[in-house]
Chain A
Amino acid sequence: MAAGFTGFEITWRKEVFSGAPQAGSAEKFGTIGINFRARKPGR
């Protein structure tokens, strides 16, 4: 991962745009919500 982080991990993926009031580009590009974490080295 960029910027010197370590331990990058995506922990969760979910379709978070489906059923939204307005149509957007999410379905077209397969866009999903994610959670990720990483750590700055040094301790």
Chain B
Amino acid sequence: MSEQQTGTPVDVEVLREAIKEEYAEVAAHPDKGFHFHTGRPLARILEYEDGWLAGIPESSIESFAGTGNPFSLGELRPGEKVVDVGCGAGIDSLIAAGMVGPEGRVVGVDMSPDMLGKARRAADEAGRENVEFRPGYGEELPVEDGWADVVISNGVLNLMPDKSAALAEMHRALTPGGRLQVGDILVQKAVPEGAKQDIDLWTG
């Protein structure tokens, strides 16, 4: 997908590679120190309840890099199907898997192979068999139409070059009446057009 195809001011493939590199570092070296908080300290800032993290491997928690709290918008119900867009190392997918229980199902989607690897290992370690992780982009979700009762996402929509396409995909993946519960960012000052072309500003 090129800049011309999406209407975004950056080359989409260049942006995606930069984001993959950044989050490979978050996966491999979560304590390195980034322009955002990570791990348990971040979970506290975002008002995650301690009980939600019970049983989730530290390897998943340490690479948490969200910007909000999708679960504060309403706990998920037993038996529900959930898609986690941009699941990273899997913390929100694993929390969701605990909430929906064995009759529910969670699909985490991420474009970072490093993060997907951590998420899969964490799910195995936690013994949560109702969650799976699939490679993919938010603008092309690997989920069938109307499958999900809930779509969650945390700190990822802002990284997607084509936000309209991403929202359309979330809509497509949801069943009629389905809920969208998202943590993201809000930029309160106008960003100059020149700055929108700066890949470093997208990732930092």
The residues of A with any CB-CB pair to B shorter than 8 Å are 1-5, 10-14, 16-17, 19-26, 28-43
The interface on chain B, measured as residues whose beta carbon lies within 8 A of the other chain's beta carbons, has a size of: 41
**Is B142 positioned at the interface, with any CB of A under 8 Å from its CB?**
no
Task: Determine if A3 and B170 form an interchain contact, defined as CB atoms under 8 angstroms apart.
Answer: yes
Complexed CA–CA distance, A35 and B68 (Å): 6
**Is B14 positioned at the interface, with any CB of A under 8 Å from its CB?**
no
Complexed CA–CA distance, A17 and B41 (Å): 12
Residue of A nearest to B177 (CB): A43
Contacts of A3 in B (CB 8 A): 164, 167-168, 170-171
Interface secondary structure of B, over-half rule:
mixed
Contacts of A32 in B (CB 8 A): 185-186, 188
Known: A26-B35, A29-B191, A35-B72. 16 other contacts (CB 8 A): A2-B163, A3-B168, A12-B68, A16-B37, A21-B34, A31-B185, A33-B183, A33-B184, A36-B180, A36-B184, A39-B179, A39-B180, A40-B180, A42-B176, A43-B175, A43-B176
Complexed CA–CA distance, A12 and B68 (Å): 8
Residue of A nearest to B204 (CB): A24
Complexed CA–CA distance, A17 and B180 (Å): 24
Task: Determine if B187 and A40 form an interchain contact, defined as CB atoms under 8 angstroms apart.
Answer: no
Residue of B nearest to A19 (CB): B37
Nearest CB in chain B: distance from A34 CB, A: 5
Nearest CB in chain A: distance from B143 CB, A: 14
Nearest CB in chain A: distance from B24 CB, A: 17
Nearest CB in chain A: distance from B41 CB, A: 9
Do A35 and B70 contact each other (CB < 8 Å), given the known contacts A17-B36, A30-B189?
yes
Nearest CB in chain B: distance from A43 CB, A: 3
**Is B109 positioned at the interface, with any CB of A under 8 Å from its CB?**
no
**Is B74 positioned at the interface, with any CB of A under 8 Å from its CB?**
yes
